[in-house]
């Protein structure tokens, strides 16, 4: 799916997604990813808290895209992020991509961790 163009000043918007991939800033990334202020990186999934905690001082909110359907994030992951001062919003991956782009275009301190839609 293609996402609508919005104004971004030097940031990495999510351009699209499909079965097993995300396109960020024109570059395709397969599998689970985290889009954080310092770049796009592979994300090890719900057990990989270190990747997300590394951005704690740079983001206020982390959107978590749980794949095709909304699901709960593990309590331990949510607790660790909130203890580090990062708010967590959980949703399915497609709305997480769209919400990330809107908040990014507003200049918010935002990150997103995405599980692929298969």
Do 33 and 20 meet the contact criterion of CB atoms below 8 Å apart? no
Is the pLDDT at 10 greater than 90? The verdict is no
d(CA 5, CA 79): 34
Nearest to 44 by CA among 77, 90, 18, 75: 77
Contact 48, 109 (CB under 8 A): no
Token representation of residue 79:
């607790």
What confidence score (pLDDT) does residue 79 get? 97
Residue range 14-115, CATH number: 3.40.1230.10
User: What percentage of the chain reaches a pLDDT higher than 70?
Assistant: 92
Query: Which pLDDT does position 11 carry in this prediction?
Result: 72
Predicted model pTM? 0.90
Where does the pLDDT of residue 4 fall: very low under 50, low under 70, confident under 90, or very high at 90 and above? low
Beta bridge partners of 23: 16, 28
């Amino acid at each position: 799916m293609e996402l609508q163009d919005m104004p971004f000043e030097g940031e990495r918007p999510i351009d699209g997604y499909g079965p097993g991939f995300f396109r960020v800033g024109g570059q395709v990334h397969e599998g689970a990813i985290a889009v954080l202020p310092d770049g796009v990186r592979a994300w090890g999934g719900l057990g990989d808290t270190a990747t997300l905690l590394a951005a704690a001082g740079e983001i206020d909110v982390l959107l978590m895209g749980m794949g095709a359907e909304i699901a709960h994030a593990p309590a331990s992951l949510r607790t660790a992020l909130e203890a580090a001062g990062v708010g967590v919003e959980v949703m399915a991956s497609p709305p997480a991509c769209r919400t990330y782009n809107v908040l990014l275009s507003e200049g918010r301190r935002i990150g997103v961790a995405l599980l692929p839609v298969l």
